Structure 1
């Protein structure tokens, strides 16, 4: 039996040595920033550099053609003023107060605006009742609300938050309404035929379909809220970046006016980008369906 086994199964020593497994080719490293995005960033940076250079040239030569740059400070003076404010505590107080007002009013607008938009999109009765108020109040600028807001609310802080809330509310309501209305009716009927409840249809069909429009409305509402906040701070306020800018104008401090404007633009851009980042995880399904 041993010889038979040896014939059927020769010694392992006669077998060629097994080849070592070849290492798997290294996976292509994913770049943190795609080349297309890097190119867009480079183009944007170059465009900004050209804009700053033109600004410097116009203010240095006192350009007076269509727009008068005679009293407009150049980038150097504005940067020097900004650098000086970075060492003062009051400057950070203005920024923090404005950001706090934006946070409170914007969160209120998000909750109420999405709720109203969903009701208007899913109920004809609610749309008929609410639409007249939206259409009448929406065109009123934030500055026009200031006297009435001061009379309506007991404190200036509450009136500023109210004005900022109104600015963010209407874009969120209208974009939410648009998103809900654009939900494919075929998907709703398919969910109903499968026995889905109204809440299940809303959570799994209506809301995902409306999320792109809601996300756009949140970003637009953030930008409009900054505009409304500054209008309130200019007229009634002791702190805030809007008050800082208006106070600089009252004191004929031209560099600080531009500093306030640029800080407002930076904060508005940063907050809008934050909204897009926070809503991006909710829109991952769009990439998977492409």
Structure 2
């Protein structure tokens, strides 16, 4: 009877503690969201003031930069334009195709290079030579290599996403504790099972970091890709606005690319967090 009473008394207190913890987490998330929104608002306000007072820092001047007051009507006009869905569909398709191809090649090659020294010595040096080449330098070669401009643009986004994914995968495999591999081998694990059950889960956090960065760089390369021969796309819209001297539209295109890149990178990161529940960042953050 006493034990029953003790359990009955402990359940409400346990529920209260859970509610308190949940309320604390929600309050913390709300404060962080408010702080981030305030940071963005402060940046926009500083931008408006710099343009309004024609701030000049010597080598940098805001005299000819469009202000947020100019950009907002341009954004509103684009949001009501019938071309916006076509621009978005073209850009998202090019980025997704290039990113998916880069993910397949980068993760597959990274797992092999990180595991076998011979592949590291034979494949990694030429890849390291290609890595510093900027995306814009690939444009003439992409035009010569591919029969259509669409494939050329997808290739540019592929190049932009490939190297962050590849190198993070290699580093993730190399950082794997060798005792895990040795233990799995001693238990008779087959080579394929070794990859799927030990190496891939161990390197997964680094792989998803590379995928998140790769998604961002794919959007980063979009303007370069759509300079080739695009008729639709956010990058094409941005470049066309520059040639037509529609300066407010340039900022609108840049902002759309930034928002889409940030959102897609955050989505990849969220998927990685959901698929790697065993991994948590260590260390306190203030």
TM-score, reference length from structure 2? 0.89
Aligned to 2:181, which of 184, 188, 191?
A: 188
Q: Distance in 2 between matches of 1:288 and 1:245?
A: 38
- For the aligned residues, what is the CA RMSD? 2.0
SS of the residue aligned with 2:168? helix
Shift of 1:196: 1.5
1:142-166 per-position Cα deviation (integer Å, ceiling 9, x unaligned):
0000011001100000000011101
Shift of 1:33: 5.3
Q: Distance in 2 between matches of 1:203 and 1:241?
A: 38
Aligned: 1:134 with 2:113: no
1:62-99 per-position Cα deviation (integer Å, ceiling 9, x unaligned):
22223211111111110111011111111221122101
Aligned: 1:162 with 2:170: no
Q: Distance in 1 between matches of 2:170 and 2:178?
A: 15
Q: Distance in 1 between matches of 2:87 and 2:74?
A: 16
Q: Distance in 2 between matches of 1:86 and 1:282?
A: 35
Contact 2:153 2:228 in 1 (8 A): no
Which residue of 2 is the match for residue 14 of structure 1? none
Segments of 5+ residues of structure 1 without an aligned counterpart are: 1-18
Comparing 30-39 with 227-236, greater Cα deviation is found at 30-39
Aligned: 1:58 with 2:56: no
Shift of 1:58: 1.1
Q: Distance in 2 between matches of 1:31 and 1:230?
A: 44
Tell me which structure has the larger Cα radius of gyration. 1
1:178-224 per-position Cα deviation (integer Å, ceiling 9, x unaligned):
00111111111111111222222222221111011101100111111
Q: Distance in 2 between matches of 1:140 and 1:88?
A: 36
Aligned: 1:102 with 2:95: yes
Aligned: 1:37 with 2:44: no
Aligned: 1:281 with 2:279: no
Aligned residues: 271
Q: Distance in 1 between matches of 2:89 and 2:52?
A: 34
Which residue of 1 is the match for residue 142 of structure 2? 149
Q: Distance in 2 between matches of 1:188 and 1:246?
A: 50
Which residue of 1 is the match for residue 232 of structure 2? 239
